């Protein structure tokens, strides 16, 4: 079953490393009644608070993002605060794979196991692309899972486009007491939109009217088939 996903912080802490993901976070904030859905129409326009990166002027968003590499350090702080305050919430931090080129990610990667933050789950969107092309050409990351394991994380590798696998990985954490979990979510960028799949420049590109119509048709057809299979509630 595909569960509803809430963005922002609440009973479950969530830290977003990936600023460019402001589209879905804005949409889910609106549907979670943080602000009226109408406001989504102002996205990226002059004077809007939906500026293209999550920022703390948007209700439900506590941290600004945009500069890569800060999310995990914030997540470590939130998870450490939970431990110190005796709270039982968990913290989820979504990072990009291109983001792994930032040194600050690895400082936070050291701190997670050091403070035994088994209430922390970091996810890497391993789509093998970053803004200007292949991650392995821009800054080689492999062997990435081994690096995280060597830093003391419990590493779980899944198909990140499969919602069931994601939910299972999140529910299973923490598997090893004292160890934070790293979910390597192997994904296809632009999945489900034929012309955008695996194409780096869709990191940040505005579709024209035809592309928008095609994307909506393809995604609607996919949602319909999920509904028929009983996979969406």
Ligand X SMILES: Cc1ncc(C[n+]2csc(CCOP(=O)(O)OP(=O)(O)O)c2C)c(N)n1
Q: Nearest approach, Cβ of 39 to ligand X (angstroms)?
A: 24
Q: Does 98 bind ligand X (CB under 6 A)?
A: yes
Residue length of the chain: 233
Binding mask 116-155 for ligand X (x = CB under 6 A): ---------x-x-xxx------------------------
Q: Nearest approach, Cβ of 221 to ligand X (angstroms)?
A: 24
Pairing of strands 133-134, 13-16: unpaired
CA-wise closest residue to 202 among 154, 123, 133 = 133
Residues 129-148 that bind Mg ion (CB under 5 A): 129-130
Q: Does 113 bind ligand X (CB under 6 A)?
A: no
Residues 10-69 that bind ligand X (CB under 6 A): 20, 66-69
Residues 6+ apart with CB under 8 A from 149: 155
Q: Nearest approach, Cβ of 92 to ligand X (angstroms)?
A: 16
d(CA 169, CA 29): 24
Q: Does 221 bind ligand X (CB under 6 A)?
A: no
d(CA 100, CA 72): 11
Give the H/E segment covering residue 146. Answer: helix 144-150
Q: Which residues lie near ligand X (CB under 6 A)?
A: 20, 66-69, 96-99, 102, 125, 127, 129-131, 189, 203
């Amino acid at each position: 079953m595909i569960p509803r996903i809430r963005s922002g912080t609440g009973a479950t802490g969530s830290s977003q490393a990936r600023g460019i993901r402001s589209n879905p976070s804005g949409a889910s904030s609106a549907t979670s009644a943080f602000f009226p859905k109408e406001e989504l129409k102002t996205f990226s326009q002059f004077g809007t608070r939906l500026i293209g990166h999550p920022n703390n002027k948007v209700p439900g968003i506590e941290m600004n993002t945009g500069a890569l590499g800060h999310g995990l350090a914030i997540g470590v702080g939130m998870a450490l605060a939970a431990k110190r305050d005796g709270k039982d919430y968990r913290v989820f931090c979504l990072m990009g794979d291109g983001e792994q080129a930032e040194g600050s990610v690895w400082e936070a990667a050291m701190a997670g196991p050091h403070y035994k933050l088994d209430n922390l789950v970091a996810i890497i969107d391993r789509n093998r692309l970053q803004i200007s092309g292949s991650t392995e050409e821009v800054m080689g990351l492999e062997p990435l899972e081994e690096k995280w394991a060597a830093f003391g994380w419990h590493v779980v590798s899944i198909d990140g486009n499969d919602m069931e696998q994601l939910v299972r990985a999140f529910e299973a954490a923490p598997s090893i007491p004292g160890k934070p979990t790293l979910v390597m979510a192997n994904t296809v960028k632009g999945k489900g939109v034929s012309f955008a799949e695996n194409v780096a420049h869709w990191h940040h590109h505005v579709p024209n009217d035809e592309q928008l119509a095609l994307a909506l048709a393809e995604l609607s057809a996919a949602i319909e088939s999920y509904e028929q299979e009983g996979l969406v509630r």
